[in-house]
Amino acid sequence: MKWAEGLDKLGIFLYLAISVFAVVNIYSVDKGLGEKQLIFFFISLFVGFIIFMMRSKFFENFAVVFFVLGIISLLGLHVLGSEIKGQKNWYKIGGFTMQPVEFAKIGVSLMLASYVSGPDFNLNNRKSLLTTLAIIGIPAIAVLSIPDVGSLLVFTAFVIALYREGLSGWLFGIGFILATVFLLSIAINPIYIVLGLLAIYLIYIFLNFGRIIWTVPTIVTFLGTFLILAGISFGTPKILEKLPAHQRERIEVLYKGEKAFRDTSGYNLLYSKTAIGSGGFWGKGYKEGSVTQGKFVPEQETDYIFCTVGEEWGFLGSTLLVIFYAVYIGRIYYLAENQKTTFNRVFGYCFAGVLLMHFAINLGMVMGLFPTVGIPLPYFSYGGSSFLAFSIMTAIFFKLNYTDKNSLV
């Protein structure tokens, strides 16, 4: 069929396969929620069809509109948002709830793609760099004000997309160093961290003393960076003390273990690991998981849905699902890299980056490698907002890719 030329059949197949398998697993946890997710699935297919019928230029031309609406919807939560489980992340309309942060990511992706594809964009220019960081930073600050730390972490995906467009790698190096010092300061006495930093600085100076040009700016740089890192070391424990008990415990679980908090923040993780481990290689069978059917894991249909796969489908099913995600995300990156226009490429990298961050953080949560921060597994966790938002991004990208493959330029 001529109209199907340019459709990425592999990508669309993987999207459908993951989405349908998600409905099956949610149905196993809760029949009613599984039926609702199936409705969300068909609604998303309909919305995706509408998007495919639209002109590709629409998304580029109205990127600013989507971006501004996303920020307004985030700020509006402070006034009109409904509090669910201690956070004002949702708008409640009748019997439905909507999480605007999921849709704001679409606006940021479109706006970033639109600006980067402009004729005056150059990351070596300070104005361009500050503007791109503002496009990411303004909605990120709005997300932090809710607060929604988990979604804030996902915004790093947009910085990764900029790296493809020429952003210097030193920013990632700085971020890695700051994050490492922060994480070490959670589990280790800050005095030892500072002494370790001092030793590293002295060794570096000793080995490079003759090659270092000792000017005032050089000395200020050495002292300034050391004081900043030392400040982070001593400040981290103080920050943790001010966090609500449940949020502090979610971080402490990483190095103290879930058993130390088995009656509070470690409960989910403890039974999640139990469910995944009990599945063995082949799994216990559909609707045969004792942990899943016994409702031992709170939020098992949302953030902890992967433990259902581990228990009922075993190591084999879990591995196949991970492979499907890896191939799918890799496919998005591959298609994005081969786009003819900068707008399409940047949007594709943003889309793939958001998918990758959600996937990595969610799996890290259920396996105890990352704190519980409320990040859903793309297409898989129960929820209309998340599924529809990801499906919209999917439809937009595959529409852009379809137009790109059928263009003559």
The 10s digit of each residue's pLDDT in 8-35 is 899 999 999 999 999 999 999 999 999 9
Q: Which of 17-21, 135-139, 212-216 has the weakest average pLDDT?
A: 212-216
| pLDDT of residue 395 exceeding 70 | yes
**What's the confidence (pLDDT) of residue 343?**
95
Residue 254 CA to its chain's centroid (Å): 19
Mean pLDDT of the chain: 86
In order of 98, 192, 306, 383, the CA distances from 38 in angstroms are 17, 53, 18, 11
Average of per-residue pLDDT across 303-318 = 91
pLDDT of 243: 63
Amino acid identity, residue 146? I
pLDDT at 156 over 80: yes
Highest mean pLDDT range out of 21-30, 240-249, 277-286? 21-30
Give the integer Cα–Cα distance in Å for 276 and 315. Answer: 8
| Nearest to 273, CA basis, from 231, 307, 224 | 307
Q: Give the model's confidence band at 321: pLDDT under 50 very low, under 70 low, under 90 confident, else very high.
A: very high
375-392: pLDDT as tens digits = 899 999 998 889 999 999
CA distance 356 to 369: 16
Instruction: Give bridge partners of residue 82 from the DSSP assignment.
Output: 90
Q: What is the pLDDT of residue 85?
A: 60
pLDDT of residue 331: 96
pLDDT digits (tens, 9 = 90+) for 76-88: 888 887 776 666 7
Is the pLDDT higher at 289 or at 246? 289
Average pLDDT over residues 264-292: 82
How far is it, in rounded angstroms, from Cα 27 to Cα 35?
7
Q: How far apart are CA 12 and CA 5, in angstroms?
A: 13
Split at pLDDT 50, 70, 90, the class of 334 is very high
pLDDT computed for residue 365 by the predictor? 84
List beta partners, residue 90: 82
For residue 87, list its beta bridge partners.
Answer: 84
